[in-house]
Amino acid sequence: MYTRLVKLPGRQNFFLFGPRLTGKSTLLRREYSGEDVLFLDLVKPSVHQKYLAEPEALLREIEAAGDKYNRVVLDEIQRVPELLDVAHHLMESSAGRRLQFIMSGSSARKLKRAKANLLGGRAWSLELFPLTYEELAKDFILERALAFGTLPRIYAAEGEDAGEGLRAYVETYLAEEIKAEALTRNLGAFLRFLPLAAAESGRIVNASNIGGEVGVNYKTVQEYFQILEDTLLGFWLEPFARTARRRMSRRPKFYLFDTGVLRALRKTLRTPVEKSSPEFGSLFEHFFINEVRRINSYRRLDMTLTYYRTEAGAEVDLVAGRPGKPWLAMEIKSTERPSAALCSGLLSFAELMPGAELLLVCRVDKPQLFRLGGRAVRALPWRDCLRMLS
């Protein structure tokens, strides 16, 4: 059992969203297991059917219990979104004001689609991700994280079980999130879209090209990417657009949330991840950007994360806008031997934003400093960079 970085509120109502198998239920059961907790597992068929048929039963049960409960956990709330109306009613009543409501889910999309009561600011929204390197601590192995990702159950699996678990994960996602939730009418086209989306992960998305291969129009491809985002399987990294002084890319990149799921969708799980291969560098970039995103959420850093690319082709993988601090431009390379040749994109960014900090994030064992044209570029071990951001 790993200590998670997410900070759960003491008394405030909250939603805990996260992709499947990130450990939401495990975390909530560990933190809220006393006799004063009413824990509803809405994945359990009997519980699901009971409250789907009669959501008001929860209201009567809480009122009948008197002072017995201090917390109510609604696990996988998107399966019975009507319970949010009951929670809202209780929050407004004198009997319910002493209760803390804790709601988890792997799909915010169904709640939005069903116009569910999202409690109008009465509940915070938190997110749980796959394990970070900091959470894994002494158990962290970079090569394993790149090859199989860091979903808790997958990372802990032995031998070929990790790969089989990832294949099952993808199939379960398709069966339960896409089919069961009726998120798309054309499942066949969506199945053709998924490996193409995985192949394009980390690149500027060309929806028209993907649509041509899948056999759907541009708008449908955008809807498919929206499904991935809403089911928390991926996110957009927008282009840096601080100034109009230089012609910049205007199209976002899309990143999948876990390198193991990425490789499962690409069907490359049986291919060894060699340090000398292009895939290693791509996976390392995905891993690092996901780590920064997770830290940003857990630590409440309020960083704005973008990428930088000019029409001339100068590029920086990740730019962090930090409140009250200079811009931080990070070029991410898997090399153990950083060189000045890898810094051209950083120097281009520095011309645009002279006060920015410039980092070459890599697998070097000790920090190095490059002085290039009056600019200082630090080559940092990736762990040092993550600690600096934290």
pLDDT in tens, 161-175: 999 999 999 988 776
pLDDT > 90? residue 158: no
Look up the CATH number of domain 14-127: 3.40.50.300
Most confidently modeled range among 63-72, 74-83, 187-196, 362-371: 362-371
E strands, 182-314, in order = 234-239, 253-256, 304-309
Least confident of 55-69, 172-186, 258-272: 172-186
The residue to which tokens 């920015």 are assigned:
356
Put simply, whether the predicted model's pTM sits higher than 0.85 gets the answer: yes
| Long-range Cβ contacts of 137-144 (<8 Å, 24+ apart) | 137/2, 139/2, 142/287, 142/363, 143/273, 143/275
Q: Kindly indicate whether the domain formed by 133-272 is annotated with CATH number 1.10.10.
A: yes
E strands, the chain, in order = 14-17, 37-41, 71-75, 100-105, 124-127, 234-239, 253-256, 304-309, 315-321, 328-332, 357-362, 368-372, 375-381
Same fold, 14-127 and 133-272: no
Question: Where exactly are the structural domains of the chain?
Answer: 14-127, 133-272
| Predicted confidence band of residue 71 (pLDDT cuts 50, 70, 90) | very high
Tell me how crowded residue 252 is: count the other CB atoms within 10 A of its CB.
16
Cα–Cα dist 368/286, whole Å:
23
Average pLDDT over residues 299-327: 95
pLDDT > 80? residue 248: no
Q: Which two tokens stand for residue 162?
A: 């990790």
- DSSP code of residue 39: E
Q: Per residue in 178-228, pLDDT tens?
A: 776 556 677 888 889 999 999 999 999 999 999 999 999 999 999 899 889
- Sequence-separated (6 or more) residues with CB below 8 Å from residue 174: 187, 191, 194
pLDDT reported for residue 96? 58
